[in-house]
Amino acid sequence: MTVPTAAILVIGNEVLSGKVEEQNARFLIGELRELGVALQCILTIPDEPEQIASATRDLSARFDYVFTSGGVGPTHDDVTISSIANAFDKPIIRHPALESLLRGYFGEDIDATRLRMADVPDGTELIFGKDLKYPVLMCHNVYIFPGVPDLFHKKFTAIRERFRVAPFYLRVIHTLEDEFDIAERLHAIAARHPSVAIGSYPNFSSPDYRVRVTLESKLEAAVDAAHEELLAILDTAQIIELRSPQAP
């Protein structure tokens, strides 16, 4: 089964310097999981044209989808559009449909600064979703989103279904056994089930459980088989049913 992969590129001095808490990647992580897309990389970099171009080129080549956040406004620190154009060796053009949208929206207030929002890399496609007054920009496999969380959220939500594929299946086990003591048993199950991603997360901050084991796959039968085998070799008496389990 081919699983589409994705990367998130967060462009923002404000995130790296702690002025703004990052919310868009955090939101998109859950969305992509729910949609069945395998997120493989989150990269946060400054508002630096060369770094943005280089990261865009790299991530675009390695993953099926790249989602960028930030740097698309009208000020001097908004350099995402020109940097993505450079990444793909494309000139910047004034997009007629965007210009028309902007003229309609701003009316008599339109000016050179506002019109620059219609300047995009040549070849950019406009993705219109329901309830979107202004489209998402797509350049090759790179989807360009604003950094303002409300806008990011609204725009992604409007186009999210285009990314949906088969779901991931997840099983979770909580045990009171020590992670050191179950390591070899986990390893054996992981080795026997290469299509199942098995994670082991110790917990030192509450007495509820000591290790949380997650099993995940696109193949429901595989994840169930691994889950069953693991349950059979863990100490049944130490397996915990959490009444309100943490969100998967």
- If binding is defined by CB under 8 A, does position 238 make contact with a copy of itself? no
- Three-class SS string for the chain? CCCCEEEEEEECHHHHCCCCCCCHHHHHHHHHHHHCCEEEEEEEECCCHHHHHHHHHHHHHHCCEEEEECCCCCCCCCCHHHHHHHHCCCCEEECHHHHHHHHHHHHHHCCHHHHHHHEEECCCEEECCCCCCCCEEEECCEEEECCCHHHHHHHHHHHHHHHCCCCCEEEEEEECCCHHHHHHHHHHHHHHCCCCEEEEEECCCCCCCCEEEEEEECCHHHHHHHHHHHHHHCCHHHEECCCCCCCC
Q: Which two tokens stand for residue 176?
A: 């009171």
Position 75 contacts a copy of itself (CB under 8 A):
yes
Backbone angles phi, psi at 161, to 5 degrees: -65, -20
CB 84, min distance to a copy of itself, A: 18
C-beta closer to a copy of itself: residue 90 or 115: 115
Among 138, 190, 239, 240, binds a copy of itself (CB under 8 A): 190
- Choosing from 1, 2, 21, 96, the residue that interacts with a copy of itself (CB under 8 A) is 21
Among 24, 35, 121, 216, binds a copy of itself (CB under 8 A): 216
Scanning 27-35, 93-101, 127-135, 136-144 for contacts with a copy of itself by CB under 8 A, the matching segment is 27-35
We find the least distance from the C-beta atom of residue 187 to a copy of itself, in angstroms, to be: 4
Please pick, from the candidates 119, 177, 179, 229, the single residue that binds a copy of itself as defined by CB under 8 A: 179
d(CA 147, CA 153): 10
Of the candidate spans 86-94, 128-136, 199-207, 229-237, the one that interacts with a copy of itself by CB under 8 A turns out to be 199-207
Binding segment for a copy of itself among 111-119, 124-132, 157-165, 229-237 (CB under 8 A)?
111-119
Interface characters, 79-98, with a copy of itself (x: CB under 8 A): --------------------
Residue 37, phi then psi, degrees to nearest 5: -90, 135
* Residue 76 touches a copy of itself, criterion: CB under 8 A: yes
Binding interface with a copy of itself (CB under 8 A):
10, 13-22, 26, 29-30, 32-33, 39-46, 73-78, 111, 113-114, 148, 150-151, 168, 170, 179-184, 186-187, 190-191, 197-205, 214, 216, 248
